[in-house]
Amino acid sequence: MTEEQNRVRTGIEASDEELIARFQQGDNYAFDLLVKRYKDPLLNFIYRFIGEKNEAEDIVQETFLRLFKNKHYYKEIAKFSTWIYTIAGNLAKTELRKRKRRKLFSISHYLSTEKDYDIPDQTTSPESDTNTLITDKIIQKAIDKLSPKFKQVIILRDIQGFSYEEIAEIVGIPLGTVKSRVNRARLKLQEDLQDIIVDTEM
C-alpha cells in the first residue's frame, strides 16, 4: 500500500465532509476520527456556554451520540462543522433552560455556595499562571452573565473564531443579527471587565 493510499485509508488528511460521507456509508472509523477532531473544540464551546465542565462533557457525548444516530440527516449543502456546532449549541441551550427551571424551584440552590469553575491544571510558572487562571475565571463569569443569545455568538466569534457567515448558519439567524449581537456582547463585556483591562494596562 502506498503512502498516499494509507493517508486516505487512515483519514489523516480527509476533510470533515469526506469523513461524514464515509461514516454515512458505514465506515465507523471515520466517526472515530470526527470525534477525535471535535471533542475538545466542542467541549470548550459548551463549557464557555454553560460554565461547568462535567455537564459540558456530558453534552459533548450527547452531541456525538446524536451524530451517530442521525448521521443520514447531514446533507452536503452545509459544512460539517456548522452542523455539529448547531447540534451542540441546541443541547447547551436546552441545558441552560433546564437549569433556569431548576433554579426557580430548588431551595437548595439558595443555600448552596456557587460551584467553582473547573480550570485545567497547568503547573508551570505558578505565579503568572495563577493570574491567568484568575483572569480566565473572571472572564467566564462575565460571559455567564450574558443572555444565551449573546453568549452563543460571542463564544463562536471571539473564542472559537468562526466567521459571521458560519455563525449565522449555526445559530440560524440572519447575518446582520449576528453582527449586531456580537457588537452588543463586546460592548457589554468591556463594561463588565473594566477591572481586568485596567490591571493589564498597569
Partner 1 sequence: MIQCDTVQEMLSNYIEKSLEPDLRTQIQQHIDSCPSCKKIVANVQYLTQRFRRLSSLNVSPQFNQALRSRIMANTRTEPPRLSARNLSYGFSGLAIVAGIYFITSSDIFQSNQSDSESARKPEIINTQPDRRIPLQQNPVAVQPVDQSKETLTSDSLKERKPVASDKNIKLVGSEE
Question: Which residues lie near partner 1 (CB under 8 A)?
Answer: 35, 39-40, 43-44, 47-48, 53, 56-57, 60-61, 64-65, 68-69, 118-120, 122, 132-133, 135-136, 139-140, 158-159, 161, 179, 182-183, 186-187, 189-190, 193-194, 196-197, 200
Considering beta carbons, is residue 65 or 106 the nearer one to partner 1? 65
User: Torsion over CA of 180, 186, 189 and 195, rounded to 10 degrees?
Assistant: -150
Residue 120, CA distances (Å) to 23, 35, 180 in order:
32, 21, 32
- Reading the block at residue 96, the C-alpha cell is 441552560
For the CB of residue 99, give the shortest distance to partner 1 in the complex, in Å: 19
Of how many residues is the chain composed? 202
Considering beta carbons, is residue 103 or 187 the nearer one to partner 1? 187
For the CB of residue 25, give the shortest distance to partner 1 in the complex, in Å: 18
What is the C-alpha separation between 159 and 85, in angstroms, rounded?
Answer: 14
What is the C-alpha separation between 134 and 146, in angstroms, rounded?
Answer: 19
Considering beta carbons, is residue 93 or 179 the nearer one to partner 1? 179
For the CB of residue 177, give the shortest distance to partner 1 in the complex, in Å: 13
For the CB of residue 158, give the shortest distance to partner 1 in the complex, in Å: 4
Considering beta carbons, is residue 27 or 57 the nearer one to partner 1? 57
Closest CA to 116 of 52, 61, 161: 52
Considering beta carbons, is residue 3 or 191 the nearer one to partner 1? 191
Closest CA to 184 of 149, 156, 160: 149
- Reading the block at residue 28, the C-alpha cell is 465507523
CB 156 within 8 A of CB 170: yes
For the CB of residue 197, give the shortest distance to partner 1 in the complex, in Å: 5
